[in-house]
A and B are shown apart, each in its own frame.
Chain A
Amino acid sequence: MSESNKVLRVLRPNVDIFENQDGLLLRADMPGVRQEAMDLQVEKGLLTLLGQRQVGEGVFEYRRRFQVPRDIDPSKITATMRRGVLELNMPRAEVYKPRKIEISAEA
């Protein structure tokens, strides 16, 4: 992302967030944002989505922030960009996943 891009507008992308046992799935509409122009960061439990879209001489900037739940492992987050939709997979850390504990048979 070039620093010289003049931000003409800041847009708030529409977002879906789903949750199941395995973790969270986030999708964000960011039409016009190329994969290289996407910047994702997790810092101190805050997820920041930043995407720039070239519009004439400047850029429109999509911005959104979310609190990441404690049970999500930031190092396991993966992202894809397809047809202007960002998809983030945020798996739950193994220690937080529900687990069935087997009882060992008596010796």
Chain B
Amino acid sequence: MLFRFDTIGHTRSLMNELHNQLANFYEEDARVLNQDRCWVDMQEDEQALTVHADLPGVDDEDLDITLQGEVLSISAKRQVQRPDGARAHLLERRPFEFTRSFSLPTRVDPESVRATLKDGVLTVRMDKAPEIKPRQITVNVG
């Protein structure tokens, strides 16, 4: 069967597809690129929970971490200093002051909590409470 190749229709459908792909691309990127909120993630392995938070420009003394039961709270603030007499061409880095609290998925050993702040990234590592760590049980042959 012969048919006329519909150039306009074909181009339009290609453009629509491209448009959708671009929209997805930007949407996905926007999720990561939006740095207005502090970016936090939490990882779990058999032994421990680890929380990472991006805190660029935050000094040790402006950071407060507390663990109460199974709730971990991170408070941080930073100021954005403008040099004297300078005018701003671009202002994207926001000053912030916030507290974020997270319910931990398991109980942790409060004595084991270790927090480090390096290159603007906070890492909090907490060992799981001894009673919930997996334990190998040896069977004694009677």
Cβ-defined partner of A83 (8 Å) among B83, B86, B120: B120
A32 → B minimal CB distance (Å): 5
Chain A residues closer than 8 Å to B86, beta-carbon distance: 18-20, 25
Known: A14-B35, A29-B120, A30-B120. A84 touches B90 (CB 8 A): no
Please report the C-alpha to C-alpha distance between residue A58 and residue B56 in the assembled complex, in whole angstroms. Answer: 21
A66 → B minimal CB distance (Å): 9
- The answer to whether A59 has its CB under 8 Å from any CB of chain B is no
8 A Cβ contacts from B41-71 to A: 54-59
Question: Number of residues in B with C-beta < 8 Å to the partner?
Answer: 28
- The answer to whether B8 has its CB under 8 Å from any CB of chain A is no
**Interface of chain A, main secondary structure:** strand
Question: Number of residues in A with C-beta < 8 Å to the partner?
Answer: 26
A86 → B minimal CB distance (Å): 9
Please report the C-alpha to C-alpha distance between residue A34 and residue B32 in the assembled complex, in whole angstroms. Answer: 20
Please report the C-alpha to C-alpha distance between residue A16 and residue B89 in the assembled complex, in whole angstroms. Answer: 7
Asked if B87 and A18 make an inter-chain contact with CB atoms under 8 angstroms apart, the answer reads: yes
Cβ-defined partner of A33 (8 Å) among B80, B89, B94, B119: B119
- The answer to whether A79 has its CB under 8 Å from any CB of chain B is no
Asked if A83 and B90 make an inter-chain contact with CB atoms under 8 angstroms apart, the answer reads: no
8 A Cβ contacts from B68-124 to A: 80, 82-94, 117, 119-121
- The answer to whether A12 has its CB under 8 Å from any CB of chain B is yes
Please report the C-alpha to C-alpha distance between residue A97 and residue B67 in the assembled complex, in whole angstroms. Answer: 54
Chain A residues closer than 8 Å to B120, beta-carbon distance: 29-32, 83-85
Please report the C-alpha to C-alpha distance between residue A9 and residue B30 in the assembled complex, in whole angstroms. Answer: 12
- The answer to whether B141 has its CB under 8 Å from any CB of chain A is no
Chain A residues closer than 8 Å to B1, beta-carbon distance: none
Asked if B93 and A27 make an inter-chain contact with CB atoms under 8 angstroms apart, the answer reads: yes
- The answer to whether B33 has its CB under 8 Å from any CB of chain A is yes
8 contacts between A and B (CB under 8 A): A18-B83, A19-B88, A20-B85, A29-B35, A29-B57, A31-B120, A84-B54, A84-B56
**Chain A interface residues toward B at CB < 8 A:** 9, 11-21, 24-25, 27-34, 81, 83-85
